[in-house]
């Protein structure tokens, strides 16, 4: 298989005041051509940080302390600004969480699409822009392209963000919670669109989300993150059918099920997301884990191959 | 967008008055040769110090020159000095503010400490000093006023840039591989321009006032070229016998500065989303 991106032992730290917060610890992931990988976890587990570090886009309070990100045999983290600009938006596209604030409010839609095309030396004619708007299923592209972002709805703006991300025919698309800021019906439309584009453009996708429900029919691979680490990784359907890590199980049981009318409380995971600045010793999930054994609080489990997946647990 | 702003601006009565006066002044400056009734430089010494009359609307000065014509030509000087000086300060201030705010670090420290040093000098004193070394003509006055009044703007733009550069669309623009130059001038600049417009319109009034002050002290535009400031200076010696010589240029300066300020404050209200 063609490996196009491999993340090797990446660690990222944030500095807040004098505290150093390890947001991502020793994460490795590999992505093959036409793979679609979902990274799932609670808020604050480091999944977005990981996504941003792939393009070296982290804010300046953070620092990548170790690891490599190999894309076509070159380490993205060691590239200079010019080479980085070629990859950003050219070879790797990114769609952000909040379409309402990710478009520049004072520039017309058409110009925002055009500048990406122009920067990466693609055809930037009006026809090309209209075609892109059609690709993301916006009706009346001739009219819409002359609008300013505030004249469009959230869903339409996210379609435009997607149009910009795929404009240069990137090899990899990073979607950082692309539907979180949208309401449910629009979410479904956007997901359908992303699914369709993956198929049509043969995209390799990294889909960052906290919502299990939406990944099953988009992603073939799944990595579950907890407190900056990967705790379970493997095929999406295998993991969802048969979760092994207690955290994955807890996350899956927290999804409300449609069709059961009997009134009941939602399942929740007891406890809180751990404070990254003062992590518990041993397994990071042990204070909240229902299947905790003595060893869990003492030793840190490693990510090991177990049957058809990678797992970080002593007592699965 | 522009249309909406214009409509809002025209609803403000004071701003409307300001605009009307400014338009009138600019037209006067452009068509001075048509509007003036006499030659502004050469006068008839026999008609010196005449009070306002049908022939000389605003009277004549100590050399017999027509005050109305001199003031009409003086409008040219005042308006052009105001606008060009502010143009210089907007270009310098906005550029340095953007660079300082976007890059931060050492560049920011150097530019901002320089601004602090500039602000320690009383501006007018600084201008006086520079003009004393240079030849006091209209171009030098414009440049010196421009180059001493950009500091406030640079600080303003830096502050705005600091907040705009952290917004999502700038991170998105970086994520799309856009060049720094493009991010700064195409993405950040239009988002910080509103307060710059307000500050520069208010700045025009201040620059006109500074020029008048300089001319009054004899360091601005040199006679016989008429400017409101030097008409006022020559008028002050005759204030007991020829009140019209100092009253009208004084009024002109007052009204002009006032109308630029009215327009500036009107624009500030238009751009401020909290006042609606």
Which of A106, A109, A170 should one mutate to test binding to chain B, selecting the residue with the greatest count of B CBs within 10 A? Answer: A106
ipTM of the complex: 0.82
Average pLDDT over residues B12-22: 92
Structure tokens at B109: 């420290």
- Comparing CB atoms, the residue among B167, B177, B191 nearest residue A88 is B177
Q: State residue B155's pLDDT score.
A: 94
Residue B74 counted as domain residue: no
- How many CA atoms lie within 13 Å of A199's alpha carbon, on the beta-carbon side? 7
DSSP 3-state of B166:
coil
Residue of B nearest to A98 (CA): B168
Q: Which residues pair with A32 in a beta bridge?
A: A3
* Best mean pLDDT range from A67-76, A246-255, B85-94: B85-94
Q: How close, in Å, is residue A177 to chain B by CA atoms?
A: 14
Q: Which percentage of chain B shows pLDDT scores above 90?
A: 40
CA distance B176 to chain A (A): 4
Q: What is the pLDDT of residues A95-146, one digit of tens each?
A: 988 888 899 988 999 999 999 999 998 888 899 999 999 989 888 889 998 9
Contact between residue B257 and residue B5 where contact means Cβ atoms under 8 Å apart: no
CATH number of the domain bearing residue B119 = 1.10.3720.10
Does B174 lie at the interface with A, CB-CB under 8 angstroms?
yes
Could B177 and A119 be called an inter-chain contact, meaning their C-beta atoms sit closer than 8 Å? yes
pLDDT above 70 coverage of chain A, percent? 97
Residue A307 or B207, more confident: B207
Interchain CB contact of A55 with B (< 8 Å)? yes
Contacts of B194 in chain A (CB under 8 A): none
What domain range includes position B140? 84-249
Side by side, which strands form the sheet with A3-16?
A19-32, A3-16, A62-71, A74-75
- Please tell me if residue A89 touches chain B, with a CB cutoff of 8 Å: yes
Q: At what angle do helices B67-103 and B189-216 cross, to 10 degrees?
A: 140
Q: Closest Cα partner for A42 from A247, A237, A194, A213?
A: A247
Q: How confident is the model at residue A268 (pLDDT cuts 50, 70, 90)?
A: confident
SS3 label, residue A88: strand
Strands A92-95 and A172-176: parallel
| A26 shares contact with chain B (CB less than 8 Å) | no
Question: Can you tell me the distance from the alpha carbon of A85 to that of A95, in angstroms, rounded to the nearest whole number?
Answer: 16
pLDDT the model gives residue B27: 93
A261 pLDDT higher than 80: no
Laid out side by side, the sheet with A36-40 consists of A92-95, A172-176, A204-209, A36-40, A221-226, A229-235, A309-311, A304-306
Asked if A148's CB is within 8 angstroms of B1's CB, the reply is yes
Q: Nearest-CA distance from B168 to chain A in Å?
A: 5
Instruction: Compute the average pLDDT of residues B76-80.
Output: 89
The token duo for A19 is 């505290």
Whether residue A147 is predicted with pLDDT greater than 80 in this model: the reply is: yes
Give me the pLDDT at residue B90, please.
95
pLDDT > 70: percent of chain B = 98
Encode B38-67: b = buried (16+ Cβ within 10 Å), e = exposed.
Answer: bebeebeeebbebebeeebbbbbbbbbbbb
Q: According to CATH, what is the number of the domain A3-257+265-311?
A: 3.40.50.300
Q: What does each C-alpha distance from B74 to A100, A187, B51, B52, B81 come to in angstroms?
A: 51, 65, 20, 18, 11
Residue B133: its pLDDT value, please?
A: 87
pLDDT at position A160 = 92
Whether A14 shows a pLDDT value over 80: the answer reads: yes
Q: Cβ–Cβ of B176/A89 closer than 8 Å? A: yes
Check CB contact of A147 with chain B, cutoff 8 Å. no
Nearest CA in chain B to A163: B176
Q: Which residues contact B234 (CB under 8 A, 6 or more apart)?
A: B61, B62, B223, B245
Total structural domains in chain B?
1
**Mean pLDDT score of chain B:** 88
Task: Give the domain ranges of chain A.
Answer: 3-257+265-311
Under the banding of pLDDT at 50, 70 and 90, the label for residue B17 is very high
Using a CB-CB distance cutoff of 8 angstroms, which residues of chain A are in contact with residue B273?
none
Please indicate, yes or no, if residue B275 is contained in any of the structural domains. no
Please tell me the distance in Å from A162's CA to the nearest CA on chain B: 12
Contact B171 A57 (CB under 8 A): yes
Greatest mean pLDDT among A254-263, B22-31, B57-66 lies in: B22-31
Q: Which stretch of A235-249, A254-268, B125-139 has the lowest confidence by average pLDDT?
A: A254-268
């Amino acid at each position: 298989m063609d490996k196009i991106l491999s993340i090797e032992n990446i660690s990222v730290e944030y500095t807040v005041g004098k505290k150093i917060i390890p947001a991502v610890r020793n994460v490795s992931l590999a992505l093959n051509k036409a793979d679609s990988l979902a990274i799932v976890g609670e808020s604050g587990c480091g999944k977005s940080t990981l996504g941003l570090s792939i393009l070296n886009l982290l804010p300046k309070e953070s620092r990548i302390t170790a690891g490599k990100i190999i894309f076509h045999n070159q380490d993205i983290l060691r590239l200079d600004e010019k080479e980085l600009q070629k990859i950003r938006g050219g070879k790797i596209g990114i769609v952000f969480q909040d379409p309402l604030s990710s478009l520049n409010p004072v520039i017309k839609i058409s110009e925002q699409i055009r500048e990406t095309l122009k920067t990466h030396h693609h055809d930037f004619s009006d026809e090309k822009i209209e075609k892109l708007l059609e690709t993301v299923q916006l009706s009346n592209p001739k009219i819409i392209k002359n609008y300013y972002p505030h004249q469009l709805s959230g869903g339409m703006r996210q379609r435009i963000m997607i149009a910009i991300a795929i404009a240069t025919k990137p090899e990899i698309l990073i979607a950082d919670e692309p539907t979180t800021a949208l309401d449910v019906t629009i979410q479904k439309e956007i997901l359908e669109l992303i699914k369709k584009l993956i198929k049509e453009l043969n995209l390799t996708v990294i889909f960052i989300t906290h919502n299990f429900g939406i990944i099953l029919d988009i992603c073939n691979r799944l990595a579950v993150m907890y407190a900056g680490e990967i705790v379970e990784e493997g095929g999406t359907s295998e993991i969802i059918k048969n979760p092994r890590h207690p955290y994955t199980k807890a996350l899956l049981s927290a999804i409300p099920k449609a069709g059961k009318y009997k009134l009941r409380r939602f399942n929740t995971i007891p406890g809180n997301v751990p404070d990254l600045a003062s992590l518990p010793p041993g397994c990071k999930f042990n204070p909240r884990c229902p299947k905790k054994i003595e060893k869990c609080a003492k030793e840190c489990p490693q990510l090991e191959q177990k049957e058809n997946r990678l797992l970080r647990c002593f007592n699965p | 967008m522009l249309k909406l702003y214009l409509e809002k601006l025209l609803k403000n009565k004071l701003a409307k008055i300001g605009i009307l006066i400014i338009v009138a002044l600019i037209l006067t400056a452009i068509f001075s040769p048509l509007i003036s009734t006499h030659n502004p430089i050469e006068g008839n010494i026999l008609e010196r110090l005449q009070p306002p009359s049908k022939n000389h609307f605003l009277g004549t000065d100590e050399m017999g020159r027509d005050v109305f014509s001199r003031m009409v030509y003086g409008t040219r000087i005042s308006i052009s000095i105001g606008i060009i000086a502010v143009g210089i300060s907007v270009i310098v201030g906005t550029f340095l503010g953007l660079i300082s705010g976007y890059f931060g670090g050492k560049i920011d420290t150097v530019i901002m400490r320089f601004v602090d040093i500039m602000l320690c000098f009383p501006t007018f004193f600084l201008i006086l000093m520079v003009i004393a070394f240079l030849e006091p003509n209209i171009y030098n006055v414009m440049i010196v006023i421009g180059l001493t009044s950009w500091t406030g703007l640079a600080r303003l733009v830096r502050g705005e840039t600091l907040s705009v550069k952290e917004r999502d669309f700038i991170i998105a623009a970086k994520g799309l591989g856009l060049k720094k130059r493009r991010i700064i001038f195409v993405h950040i600049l239009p988002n910080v321009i509103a307060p710059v417009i307000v500050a520069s319109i208010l700045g025009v009034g201040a620059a006109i006032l500074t020029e008048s002050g300089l001319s009054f002290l004899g360091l601005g535009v040199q006679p016989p070229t008429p400017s409101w400031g030097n008409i006022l200076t020559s008028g002050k010696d005759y204030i007991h016998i020829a009140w019209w010589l100092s009253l009208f240029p004084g009024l002109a300066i007052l009204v002009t500065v006032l109308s630029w300020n009215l327009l500036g404050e009107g624009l500030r209200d238009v751009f401020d989303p909290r006042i609606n």
